[in-house]
Amino acid sequence: MSALSRWQICGFIFTGIFGSFLHFLYDLSGNSIILAPFSAVNESVWEHMKILFFPMFIFALVESKFIKESFSSFWSAKLSGLLIGLILIPVLFYTYTGILGKSIDLINIAIFFLSAAVAFRLETLLLKNKAALGISEAVALITICLIGLIFAVTTFIQPNIPLFIDSATGKSGIKQ
């Protein structure tokens, strides 16, 4: 197994564990406003996307210190992985709930882990094949940071669309 594959497997495991922790962190912290931008503040699809994004981004920052120099398209591959993971969550969620007519927690958990697995697999393939998005590494990293900023800001200010609605309460935003 290559060093890259080991890093990516560790990233998947980190994302699974840390993302699961972020799912409960806001409630465990007594609804800390400081932790809210990085953790799930409700059960909306958007918040589940957020708890995939931040662990993947944090791991990429760590990983970049060790292997980035070996891959000229490191941040481009990371952006591609993040985007596919973030797209898969709502696509899979709305597809199965549209078919079944209800949300099932076990399936939602499986979607989170499947999205992370696909994201890391795509990153690995892109890095191994030296494939890139056709954008500079700086633009890819800035785009990733902007996505993180959007997640943080939309914790407090949400558009009135279903993606942001908590399936348990029918409300959006921070739990009151």
CA dihedral of 152, 153, 156, 158, whole degrees rounded to 10: -110
Per-residue tens of pLDDT for the chain, all 176 residues: 788 999 999 999 999 999 999 999 999 999 999 999 999 999 999 999 999 999 999 999 999 999 888 888 999 999 999 999 999 999 999 999 999 999 999 999 999 999 999 999 999 999 988 866 678 999 999 999 999 999 999 999 998 899 999 888 888 888 64
Q: Is 155 helix (H, G, I), strand (E, B) or coil?
A: coil
Tally of CA atoms within 13 A in the half-sphere of 37 that contains its CB = 9
* Those residues with Cβ within 8 angstroms of residue 128's Cβ, 6 or more apart along the chain or in another chain: 2, 4
Three-state DSSP class for residue 165 = strand
- Identity at 55, one-letter amino acid code: P
* Element containing residue 6 per DSSP (H, E): helix 3-28
The DSSP call for residue 37 is: G
The rounded distance, in Å, linking the Cα atoms of 108 and 92 is 9
Q: Which amino acid is at 128?
A: K
Whole-prediction pTM: 0.93
Please tell me the distance from the alpha carbon of residue 28 to that of residue 143, in angstroms, as a whole number. Answer: 31
